[in-house]
């Protein structure tokens, strides 16, 4: 009976999310077109703000369940659905990713899942490149950024669809990781034992974090989609350590890029704050629902949604 | 540098403790600042309707029409609703720097030269970004 109820509940939640995402996919092009053609005065400003809050809240729920950061969903979808310029959407996207990373960082560090040394080593180089990414992104014409954003989002969809995961990679530590003392032990709940871990291919990881930081700064995306595979598959950190440390790295890299957007006047509180609050509340609800829904199905829907948003960004970039 | 890795080390725990408080205060600040702005508890530099009517413009264009707080020039106007809300976002952006300063102190006390260097370099990178020396202005 309990099994049946929980199965029914899972099914209910799944169809709730499926309906939400399907409605979004159908409405996305129409609402976006309306947002571009109807003068903003035709709709009270506070209606947009409330819609943005509700939308960010829903996005927060979906993002946690799909195992992606909020920023990567926020920028392509909000820039398609709302009448805000891409500059402000990217500025708000960075703040969304930053606020989420700040609020999640402390518990992950306390549990020993996120590793300070691993994060600091990679974030130093990533934060410098994220500053340059932000400068380039704000200097380029909007349609070029739209095209590049669309291409990047399609690439992210591909990575999410094809990336493999390795729970406990087999690693022989390299010289640099030994010099930097990047290693650790964390308690694995599922196995009820401590897991010893080390990393390898540290120089390759550093080079990849230059690219990741640049893209995060340029598009205002959180870069969890890229951080996790690099930590896990390239550097060989266990999957849970990779996910947790990725969140922590975001808080440093996004901070660097956020300052550039702040100094360029590309962060409007009217857009950024409702997004930050909505996304953070949604993330908390999503974390509670996480055990009750079929994450694999939601992940497929999110990948589909990202693909649609990526295609739409490319069309917008071509002025279509 | 021998240490027990089975539990988070001191530097990690200090970072987590500072981050917890800084981020908690930040969320309260963000909500309070925004409420003061949109509910008109404090006067705004420009009417919200005018900003909303121009948020489809690029940041350079909007800032040309309605100069937004940039750099640190906004500090004297902090009792305006929009500026207070903006300052709460600035606070969130500064949170990581505060945590890094705290953890750099731990690394120095542990005589951990490598991570003292990395932490100080990271603080410098973020301070340069925060100073507005790179890419400030419209």
> Based on the structure, what is the number of domains in chain B?
1
The reply to whether A265 touches chain B by the CB within 8 Å rule is yes
Q: A42 falls in which pLDDT band (50, 70, 90)?
A: low
Tell me the average pLDDT of chain A: 81
In chain B, the largest separation of any two C-alpha atoms, in whole Å, equals 60
How far is CA A301 from its chain centroid? 16
Task: Give the pLDDT band (50/70/90) at residue A12.
Answer: low
Please give the average per-residue pLDDT across A74-92, as a whole number. 89
Position B85 in a domain: yes
Residue B98 in domain: yes
Tokens coding B35: 């409420």
The span from the CA of B27 to the CA of A87, in Å, is 23
Q: How far is A235 from chain B (nearest CA, A)?
A: 19
CB-CB contact of A219 with A155 (8 Å): no
Whether A25 shows a pLDDT value over 70: the answer reads no
Residue A13 reports pLDDT greater than 80 = no
- Residues spanned by the domain of B78: 11-131
**What does each C-alpha distance from A120 to A269, B52, B116 come to in angstroms?**
29, 39, 11
Q: Is residue A37 predicted with pLDDT exceeding 50?
A: no
pLDDT value, residue A156: 80
Residue A320 has pLDDT above 80, yes or no: no
Residue with tokens 């725990």: B13
- The answer to the question of residue B28 being in a domain is yes
Q: DSSP assignment of B72-122, as one string?
A: TTTGGGTTSHHHHHHHHHHHHHHHHHHHHHHHHHHHHHTT-HHHHHHHHHH
Determine, for residues B58 and A142 on separate chains, whether the beta-carbon distance falls below 8 Å: yes
- The domain ranges of chain A are 2-317
What the block records as the tokens of B85 is 């809300």
Q: For residue B97, list chain A residues with Cβ-Cβ distance below 8 A.
A: 255
CB A305 within 8 A of CB A25: yes
Please report whether residue B83 resides in a domain: yes
A31 touches chain B (CB under 8 A): no
Sign of the CA dihedral running A240, A223, B119, A129? positive
Question: A139-181, pLDDT tens digit by residue?
Answer: 888 888 888 888 888 888 887 788 777 778 888 899 999 999 9
Query: Cβ of B134 and A85 within 8 Å?
Result: no
| CA dist A21 → A80, A190, A297, B96 (Å) | 15, 32, 12, 34
Q: Say whether B8 and A262 touch across the interface (CB within 8 A).
A: no
pLDDT in tens, A246-299: 888 888 888 888 898 898 889 999 999 999 999 888 887 877 776 666 667 767
- Report d(CA A30, CA B36) in Å as an integer: 34
Q: Which two tokens stand for residue A114?
A: 């996120």
Residue-by-residue pLDDT tens, chain B, 138 positions: 444 445 778 999 999 999 999 989 998 999 999 999 999 999 999 999 999 999 999 998 998 999 887 778 888 999 999 999 999 999 999 999 999 999 999 999 999 999 999 999 999 999 999 988 776 555
A74 at the B interface (CB within 8 A)? no
Query: Bigger pLDDT: A303 or A42?
Result: A303
Which of A109, A260, A263 is opposite residue B12, by nearest beta carbon? Answer: A109
Asked whether A234 and A196 are in contact (CB, 8 A), the reply is no
Residues of A in contact with B102 (CB under 8 A): none
Query: What values do phi and psi take at B50, rounded to 5?
Result: -70, -40
Adjacent-strand bridge partners of A89:
none
- From chain B residues 103-122, the ones with a CB under 8 A of any chain A CB are 103, 114-115, 118-119, 121-122
pLDDT at A10 over 70: no
Task: Kindly state the percentage of chain A with pLDDT values over 70.
Answer: 82
Q: Is B136 helix (H, G, I), strand (E, B) or coil?
A: coil
**Which residues have C-beta within 8 Å of that of residue A217, sequence separation ≥ 6?**
A129, A130, A131, A132, A133, A134, A135, A136, A137, A253, A256, A257, A260
pLDDT at A18 over 80: no
pLDDT (tens digit per residue) in A101-143: 888 888 888 888 889 999 999 999 999 999 999 889 888 888 8
Residue A195's pLDDT is what?
A: 87
Our measurement of the distance from residue A150's CA atom to the centroid of its chain's CA atoms, rounded to an integer in Å, reads 15
Q: What percent of chain A has pLDDT over 90?
A: 25
């Amino acid at each position: 009976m309990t099994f049946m109820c929980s199965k029914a509940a899972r099914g209910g939640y799944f169809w709730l999310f499926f309906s939400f995402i399907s409605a979004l996919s159908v409405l996305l092009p129409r609402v976006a077109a309306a947002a571009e053609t109807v003068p903003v005065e035709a709709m009270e400003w506070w209606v947009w703000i409330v819609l943005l809050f509700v939308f960010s809240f829903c996005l927060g729920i979906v993002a946690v369940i799909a195992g992606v950061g909020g920023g990567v969903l926020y920028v392509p979808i909000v820039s398609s659905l709302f009448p805000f310029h891409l500059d402000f959407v990217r500025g708000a996207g960075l703040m969304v990713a930053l606020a989420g990373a700040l609020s999640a960082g402390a518990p992950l560090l306390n549990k020993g899942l996120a590793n300070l040394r691993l994060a600091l080593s990679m974030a130093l180089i990533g934060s410098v490149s994220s500053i340059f990414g932000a400068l380039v992104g704000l200097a380029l014409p909007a349609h070029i950024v739209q095209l590049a954003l669309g291409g990047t989002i399609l690439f992210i969809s591909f990575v999410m669809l094809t990336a493999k995961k390795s729970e406990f990679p087999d690693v022989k530590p390299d010289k640099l990781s030994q010099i930097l003392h990047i290693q650790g032990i964390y308690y694995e709940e599922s196995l009820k034992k401590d897991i010893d871990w080390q990393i390898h291919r540290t120089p390759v990881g550093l080079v990849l974090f230059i690219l990741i930081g640049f893209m995060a700064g340029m598009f205002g995306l959180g870069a969890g989609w890229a951080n996790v595979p690099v930590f896990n598959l390239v550097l060989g950190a266990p999957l849970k350590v990779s996910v947790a440390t990725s969140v922590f790295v975001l808080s440093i890299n996004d901070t660097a890029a956020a300052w550039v957007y702040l100094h360029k006047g590309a962060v409007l509180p009217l857009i950024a704050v409702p997004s930050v609050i909505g996304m953070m509340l949604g993330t908390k609800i999503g974390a509670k629902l996480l055990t009750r829904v079929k994450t694999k199905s939601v992940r497929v829907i999110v990948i589909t949604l990202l693909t649609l948003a990526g295609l739409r960004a490319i069309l917008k970039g071509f002025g279509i | 540098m021998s240490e027990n890795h089975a539990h988070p080390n001191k530097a990690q725990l200090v970072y987590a403790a500072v981050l917890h408080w800084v981020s908690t205060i930040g969320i309260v600040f963000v909500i309070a600042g925004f409420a003061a702005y949109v509910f008109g508890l404090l006067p705004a530099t420009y009417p919200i309707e005018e900003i909303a009517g121009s948020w489809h413009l690029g940041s350079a264009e909007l800032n040309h029409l309605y100069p937004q707080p940039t750099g640190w020039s906004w500090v004297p106007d902090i009792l305006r609703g929009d500026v207070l809300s903006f300052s709460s976002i600035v606070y969130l952006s500064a949170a990581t720097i505060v945590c890094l300063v705290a953890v750099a102190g731990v690394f120095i006390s542990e005589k951990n030269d490598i991570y003292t260097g990395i932490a100080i370099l990271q603080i410098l990178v973020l301070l340069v970004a925060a100073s507005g020396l790179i890419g400030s202005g419209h």
